[in-house]
C-alpha cells in the first residue's frame, strides 16, 4: 500500500476548508452578500493545491481522499489500485 502524498493531503484539506468556509458563509444571512469576497482566498487555495497534487479534473480520486481524511484525519491513506 502506498500512502497519500503530502500534496494530495494538502489538496484534500484545502478542499475541506473551502467546503466549510462556503457552508459558514452561506448559512449566515448577514454574510451571504459578501460570499464572493470571503470565499476568494479559500477557492484560490483549493485550486492551487489541486493543481499541485495533480488532482485537477480527477474528482473521483479527490473525493476518495477527502472521504478517507474525514473518516480518519491522521491515518495513512492508501492509493486505490
Supply 80's cell numbers.
486505490
Residues of the chain by 3-state class (helix, strand, coil), percent to 5: 70, 0, 30
Task: Check whether 36 has a pLDDT greater than 70.
Answer: yes
**pTM value?**
0.79
* SS3 assignment, position 56: coil
What does the pLDDT read at residue 13? 94
Mean predicted confidence (pLDDT) in 48-53:
96
Bigger pLDDT: 80 vs 8:
8
- The separation between CA 11 and the C-alpha centre of its own chain, rounded to angstroms, equals 5
Angle between helices 6-27 and 35-52 (to 10 degrees): 170
Per-residue pLDDT band for 76 (boundaries 50, 70, 90) equals: low
- Percent share of the chain, pLDDT over 70: 86
How far is it, in rounded angstroms, from Cα 80 to Cα 19?
A: 24
Bigger pLDDT: 75 vs 19:
19
Amino acid at each position: 500500500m502506498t500512502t497519500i502524498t503530502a500534496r494530495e493531503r494538502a489538496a484534500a484539506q484545502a478542499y475541506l476548508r473551502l467546503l466549510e468556509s462556503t457552508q459558514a458563509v452561506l448559512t449566515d444571512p448577514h454574510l451571504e452578500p459578501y460570499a464572493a469576497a470571503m470565499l476568494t482566498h479559500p477557492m484560490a487555495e483549493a485550486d492551487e493545491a489541486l493543481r499541485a497534487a495533480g488532482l485537477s479534473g480527477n474528482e473521483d480520486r479527490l473525493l476518495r481522499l477527502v472521504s478517507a481524511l474525514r473518516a480518519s484525519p491522521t491515518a495513512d491513506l492508501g492509493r486505490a489500485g
